[in-house]
Structure 1
Amino acid sequence: MRVVLGGTFSPLHDGHRALLRYATSQATELVIGVTVNSMVQGKQHPIAPFAERVEGVLDFVRTLTPDLPVTIAPLHDTYGHTVSEDYDLLVVSPETLVGAQRINIKRREAGKPPLRIAEIAWVLAEDGHPISSTRIWAGEIDEYGHLVS
């Protein structure tokens, strides 16, 4: 099954790891879109350089399935190749579900069938709130959702 997902992945945290775990469990081929640095300018927290983020994602995926064919697709816009390329499954978080639905609208407009979407639930920190890069950079939690004192 050809599976696709995307993100910024900075810092790589347990929410990202849950998406990647599910995607690798479904995939015979995995395409991971990673936002390029110019796409993340203006974020409210620092973003690691593109190459560093790609390396972190690939290192983690290799621990799960070392032989899985994985392609990194630099994301220069919101949709990447999801409108033009054919995939069997798009893996998203609750935060990116609306974007996935927009992708399917654009696919229909382009005469392509919609992608099947798998929404993976938030991974919660110790305080019961979702793990997020913003919370990590703010010093509230670490990448595993542990509260920082």
Structure 2
Amino acid sequence: MIVAVAGTFNVLHEGHIALLKRAFSLSKDVCIGITSDRMASETRTRVNPYYIREKAVREYLKANNKEADIFCIDDMYGPEDIMADVDVLVVSDESLKNGKKVIEWRSTFSDEPLKLSVVRSIEKDDGSKISSSDIMNGVCSRDGSMDAIDIAVGSLNPVKVEAVRIVMEKIYGSVRIFPVDSKSGVSEQPFEDETVKGAINRAKDALGNHKMAVGIEAGVFERYDGLYDIQHCAIIDDTGKITIGMGSGFRYPDKIAELVRNGKTVGEAMGATYAENDIGREQGAIGILSKGLLDRRELTEQSVLNAMLPRIWDE
């Protein structure tokens, strides 16, 4: 028996996990549809890039020793060649109406009945349904807790926000993450000491009434045999204590370095040199240079975790 489940998985939360658990309880042959960035953005103002959403699902499967076929969907029905073989579609009670539409659509090209397995939506502390939007806006944690430690991130960049969420969850468990459009106070392309200054400024600007705030800034440094990218993270808490961390540095190719030295930002230089690279559009400079072996989220996690190390020692 083949079981299918689909969703945006904007931030993988307990509601999504309930759907996945139901699917695997019914069969070991599971296929998972994840909405494309285009489809997801039609109904949402903030959408994590597809690669981040897919990565989260794959990490969940790996952690639970599960395997599934994952595919991108660009409409509510999914690819006909895949859905033709599905026996059961797992849906939440909220998406039951759409599930019935999929049954009707499937009947137009297959005589085999498609069954629905309905999962009750997971609620957050106030009794309302948990949603990725609430999690992304800091209303609740991934598990629906509304009184978890609140941490601001001085950026609206979804890669940075998700990297902070992942690191802080490993340390504190449930966390509420608040993205803030903070200012770095440094040049668009930071060089040398501007980098850590920009990270500190972003953290301070984002703190407000939050328990803690995180600022992240990537800058370029003349080191060893060329121009290096070293990402810095600054974390400030409500007592005013600041801790700093760095990610692993990597050297830019000479042609990129020369463009940056002559006034272009790294983004402009990479765009001019690797304009058609799909990995780069999703995973940034490190995605291009490592050929997908390391992505921006992982690189950002390094700097955030390193900035938390002095706090872990103190605790």
Return the TM-score normalized by structure 1.
Answer: 0.89
What letter corresponds to residue 72 of structure 1 in structure 2?
I
Aligned equivalent of 2:135: 136
CA distance in structure 1 between the partners assigned to 2:131 and 2:113 by the alignment: 28
Secondary structure, in 3 states, of the residue corresponding to 1:118? strand
CA distance in 2, matches of 1:43, 1:109: 27
Deviation of 1:82 (Å)? 5.8
Compute the displacement of 1:30 (Å): 1.0
Bigger-Rg structure (1/2): 2
Structure 1 residue 69 displacement after superposition: 3.8
State the partner residue of 2:56.
Answer: 56
1:58 Cα deviation (Å)? Answer: 1.3
**Structure 2: runs of 5+ lacking an equivalent:** 151-315
- How do 1:38-77 and structure 2 match up within 5 A? 38-64=38-64, 66=65, 68-77=66-75
Query: Residue in 2 aligned with 1:3?
Result: 3
- Alignment partner, residue 78 of structure 1: 76
**Alpha-carbon offset, residue 114 of structure 1:** 2.8
The structural deviation recorded for 1:113 is 2.6
Q: Which has the higher contact order (CA 8 A, sep 6+)?
A: 1
Shift of 1:9: 0.2
Give the Cα–Cα distance (whole angstroms) in 1 for the partners of residues 126 and 70 of structure 2.
Answer: 33
Q: What is the CA–CA distance in structure 2 between the aligned matches of 1:9 and 1:35, rounded to whole Å?
A: 8
Amino acid at match of 1:55: K
- What is aligned with 2:209? none
Deviations 1:104-127 (A, max 9, x none): 111222243331110000111111
The AA in structure 1 aligned to 2:131 is: S
- Whether contact under 8 Å (2:87, 2:113) holds in the other structure is no
Equivalent residue number for residue 95 of structure 2: 96
**CA-to-partner distance for each residue in 1:12-68, whole Å, 9 max, x for gaps?**
11100111111122222110000011112243341111111111011112222x2x4
Count how many residue pairs are aligned between Structure 1 and Structure 2: 147
* Cα pair 1:45 1:137 within 8 Å, conserved: no
Q: Deviation at 1:97?
A: 0.9
Does the 8 Å CA contact 1:4/1:89 hold for their aligned counterparts?
A: yes
Post-superposition Cα deviations, 1:69-108, rounded to whole Å, max 9, x if no partner, equal 4111100111003685211211001121111100111122
RMSD over aligned CA atoms reads 1.8
Q: Residue 6 of structure 1 aligns to a residue in which SS?
A: strand
SS in 1 for 2:107: helix
Do 1:123 and 1:130's aligned partners in 2 also have CA atoms closer than 8 Å?
Answer: yes
Residue in 1 aligned with 2:27? 27
Report the equivalent of 1:17. 17
Is the Cα–Cα contact under 8 Å of residues 37 and 50 in structure 1 kept in the other structure? yes
Structure 1 residues 108, 43: CA separation in 2 closer, same or farther (over 3 Å shift)?
closer
| Counterpart residue type for residue 129 of structure 1 | S
C-alpha separation in 2, matches of 1:98 and 1:62: 31
Letter in 2 for 1:135: D
Gap runs ≥5 in structure 1: none
Going from structure 1 to structure 2, the CA distance change for 1:82 and 1:60 (only over 3 Å counts) comes to farther
Aligned mates of 1:113, 1:93 — CA distance in 2? 22
Matched AA of 1:136 = I
Q: Indicate if the aligned counterparts of 1:20 and 1:61 stay in contact, CA closer than 8 A.
A: no
Higher fraction of helix: 2
CA distance in 1, matches of 2:4, 2:71: 10
